[in-house]
Structure 1
Amino acid sequence: MTQGLMIAAPASGSGKTTVMLGLARALCRSGQRVQCFKSGPDYIDPAFHRAATGRASFNLDSWAMGAGRIGELLAKGADADIALAEGSMGLHDGVAVPGALGTGASADVALLAGWPVVLVIDASGQAQTAGAVAMGMAAYRPGIRVAGVVLNKVASPRHEALLRAGMEPAGIAVFGALPRDAGIGLPERHLGLVQAGEHSELPRFLDRAANLITAHLDVAGMVAAAGSTPLRGEGEPITPPGQRIALAQDAAFTFTYPHLLDGWRAAGAEILPFSPLADQGPDSTADVCWLPGGYPELHAGRIAAAGGFAEALRRFAATRPVHGECGGYMVMGAGLEAADGSRHAMVGLLGLETSFAKRRMHLGYRRAVLGAGIPGHEAGAVLAGHEFHYASILHQPDAPLATVCDAAGASVAETGSRRGHATGTFFHLIEGAS
């Protein structure tokens, strides 16, 4: 298996994305083939990884995926020179009740793959204490090996000297220090980074990040620290929702997991993209339509005005299945209230009314038992997924689609709904078994 590293941190906002992207780009510029992965249920970061390396990046999820699926995905990097995985939140952060292989923590993935950890520490407001933080992170869970740290947001040479002094008794290597005023960062919105496809300056950012990493960090030392553990296997075949899949794809519909799209194609399905924002409807020769999540609230006016899309989707749904996830589910509903309180009529395949004027965060893993089938999964199937949005339900008059609980087994009110050939859920499917 390809040698790799887990780029992690004690907490979100520490700078691991900048280190991840800069290191990946720098290694690619030096002629190496880099395979990226993302720990956990994130559909934004893999697109940045792909932009940095030219290769698809895949999610590895210890709560939702079994060892076979993770082994299968790791094998996608078999021809790479090095694998880099970006952690989520803090290294040891996960849910309270384990799932398939663990709690969803980045540490789970590092242990499964045998990847040493490069710990990115935001050194703002501390000096030698950073050594205690690194020591605690390394000792907290048996088997985790912290190969070294990257010190981020370092204020001065004196600050760096104190930080390095703190790492000495911890016995942890320092791969380098990034200045506090590096002037590099990516814009964010409520679900994370602004999407890769919306950045006209993304190539320039990636090269600046690579320049920063090569100027301040021991890239060769990090590569030399990479490691792995053989983990082979195959997950259950991913059943595509149909043979010819009309897939909404544009700035409002972007949240699809790469491993699912790969699985659909591996099963022989054909994906037929279309753009609702361009007033396009699903291909009339498709046998199923899939509306992924995204940012419908940012484009509600354009979606409401896309009469051609709405009419084509209604015609399609009269005879064939249409399924929506999160944002796609909201667009299938009757109406969406924007943050300013204005209501926009949606397609009306379902009676769902949602609002972003009454914001409430919904976040976490979901396990669902389908009460009725959806494309690719029959009634009774157990699905593992993840929900993350800020919409509130104003009205949901249709029959519930599933019985849904969170990672701890507590019942979740967002059951999804169904009407005729239309089905939708607030959670994004990660893995499923009938």
Structure 2
Amino acid sequence: MEKVVEFILNRFPSVRDRIDVHMMEVINGAAVALVLKVLGAGLTFLFNLVLARTLGADGAGHYFLALTVTTIATVFGRMGLDNTLLRFTAANAAVNDWVAVKGAYVKGMKLAFIASSLSTVAVFVFAPVLADKVFQKPELSIPMRWMSVAVVPMTFVMLHAEGLKGLKRIRDSFIVFGVGVPAISLTVLLLFGARYGVNGAIWAYASGAIFTSLLGVILWNIATPKLRKVSGVFRTNDLFKSSMPLFWIASLSMMINWTATFALGVWGTQEDVGIFSMASRTAMLTSLILTSVNSISAPKFAELYKKKEIAALGATARNTAKLMTIIASPLLLLFLVAPQWVMGMFGEEFPKGGILLSILAIGQFVNVVTGSVGYLLIMSGNEKDMRNTVVVVSGISVLLNVILVKEFGLIGAAIATATCFSMQNIIATYIVWRKLKILTTPLWYKA
């Protein structure tokens, strides 16, 4: 992949000459990540397509409500340790402090296992209450209990994926989280989805989580032969000092992402949930490049901040934002020009979600244009500022969804979600400028 990137840049010498060594590392890593992310996104899209055509909008609504509950439980299971592991692995590996890398890994995994196990038990025990009292859909109890099986393995999938990013093993990271889960899930869904309905789809997702978590352990051990010769040492207090703000960031970000689904589950129909969920996941393709670039830019941010190379940090952040905006623009245009056609691929019930796709895609595009501001704050030790931002936006999200979903249904859910996505990154952009004197958005920046 590096040779391909080098060949392309050699065709444009004026562009090549403006790229420094840090940006070149980001481009090479992002190119690998983008290929795997596109593969993973394609597999996820196929999974959703098969799910929608097999279960219909109503069945898909059941699946996504169960997935929502499990996603919340997984956030509690991770305790913010995924991004903490990324930060400390990247920073300490950059200075060859393998004792600290192993210490953070071992303690992080132990804490995550305890927390995710407790989350699994909580979902299993309270599934009937959630199904009956919260969603007024008693039939959701059994699917939620089956889905709880995925909490522990998905927690380990995410922690190992972020740890591998910290080691700059981008390919392995995306194989674990981006490709492994949807590839296995799709295979199992094709085998059992039609026969077992919603439960079959949930078994598919849980199978993907279990087998991929084992793959994550294997790839981590292959990537870290140096850790076998050292005893890990890391202060638990330092781990919690970083992970607790990140836990709240993850929890409240999840609230922003899933509040609309919850609101539609309470005040809408199962069909509404299914249509909105498909539109939301399709709109996330707009920010596909953002997650690909973040995979390599996040450890690079941690490394540059650790070495106090702030000028290089700012240049890298701006250049990645510019790159992401250029690449994401054509997909946004497709979602604005032909949204009904895109949604129609999921089945005859889904084209009505075309306007939702357009609204949500705009919100995702704002995230792309503003750049990796969240990771800039987290990797520079400003987790609390990012936490405070998400606290404010999550409160606004709940308020907007209660008002807009009750009044306008699906359209209200899309407007509330897109507004909060945009607001979060705009506020974070301002904080990055105030704290680090870095302007990530390249549109108004002059060197």
User: Please, what TM-score do these two structures have when normalized by structure 2?
Assistant: 0.26
The structure whose residues are more often strand, as a share, is 1
Higher Cα Rg, which structure? 1
Q: Choose between structure 1 and 2 for higher RCO, CA contacts under 8 A separated by at least 6 residues.
A: 2
Which structure shows the bigger proportion of residues in helix conformation? 2
What TM-score does the superposition give when structure 1 sets the normalisation length? Answer: 0.26
